């Protein structure tokens, strides 16, 4: 019996490796398989991924961004790898996921460009910050933007348009970019 279990485990591992490198995925949740959850006080999804790496039972994880000031960011550790489902609330991944959010391109995930604000407004929840970027592109004065996810500063998401390019700071609350 033990040999059969070992064989099935090895087959599962080969399947996972053959399917390509694992990576965390923004805008997806993995429902089910939860054996533990905890509040992530700093709101950083990397805390969730690292905890899964250190826990021998963990096979996958889902991180839920704070929905309001009263519903904090939460990490859900899973003892299986449930299928992913599209949901803007979350980032999820399997054990060994190296990337928390996209790091390439002009969109700067988990970056805040503090200062230089000339206008701000509330927006609907948007996992990519695209509406904020488009608002900046539509204003001649705008050089950069920062989209703050809902629940970090306010219950709603907020877009800050900037008339100067400021230094980027790593903060999980935000998505930023330079337009001009």
Each residue's pLDDT expressed in tens, for the chain with a length of 180 residues: 445 543 333 333 333 333 334 467 888 899 999 999 999 988 888 889 889 999 999 999 999 988 766 788 999 999 999 999 998 888 898 988 654 555 556 888 889 999 999 999 999 877 788 999 999 999 999 999 999 988 888 888 999 999 999 999 988 889 999 998
Topology at the third CATH level for domain 107-178 = Hepatocyte Growth Factor (3.50.4)
With a CB cutoff of 8 Å and minimum separation 6, the contacts of 10 are none
Please indicate whether the domains covering 23-94 and 107-178 agree at the CATH topology level: yes
Q: What is the domain partition of the chain in residue ranges?
A: 23-94, 107-178
Element holding 5 (H helix, E strand): helix 2-18
Topology at the third CATH level for domain 23-94 = Hepatocyte Growth Factor (3.50.4)
Phi/psi zone of residue 115: left (φ > 0), alpha (ψ -120 to 50 degrees), beta?
A: left
Query: Looking at the whole model, is its pTM more than 0.85?
Result: no
> Quick check: 179 and 142 in contact, CB under 8 A?
yes
């Amino acid at each position: 019996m033990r040999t059969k279990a070992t064989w099935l485990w090895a087959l599962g591992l080969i399947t996972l490796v053959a399917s390509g490198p694992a990576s965390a995925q923004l805008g997806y949740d993995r429902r089910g398989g939860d054996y533990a959850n905890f509040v992530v006080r700093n709101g950083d999804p990397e805390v969730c991924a690292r905890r899964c790496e250190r826990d021998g039972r963990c096979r996958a994880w889902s991180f839920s961004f704070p929905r309001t000031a009263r519903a904090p960011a939460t990490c859900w550790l899973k003892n299986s790898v449930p299928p992913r489902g599209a949901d803007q609330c979350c980032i999820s991944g399997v054990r060994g996921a190296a990337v928390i959010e996209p790091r390439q391109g002009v969109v700067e995930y988990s970056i805040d460009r503090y200062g230089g604000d000339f206008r701000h407004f509330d927006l609907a929840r948007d996992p990519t910050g695209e509406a904020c970027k488009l608002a900046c592109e539509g204003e001649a004065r705008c050089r950069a933007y920062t989209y703050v996810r809902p629940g970090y500063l306010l219950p709603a998401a907020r877009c800050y348009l900037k008339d100067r390019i400021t230094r980027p700071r790593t903060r999980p609350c935000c998505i930023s970019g330079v337009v001009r």
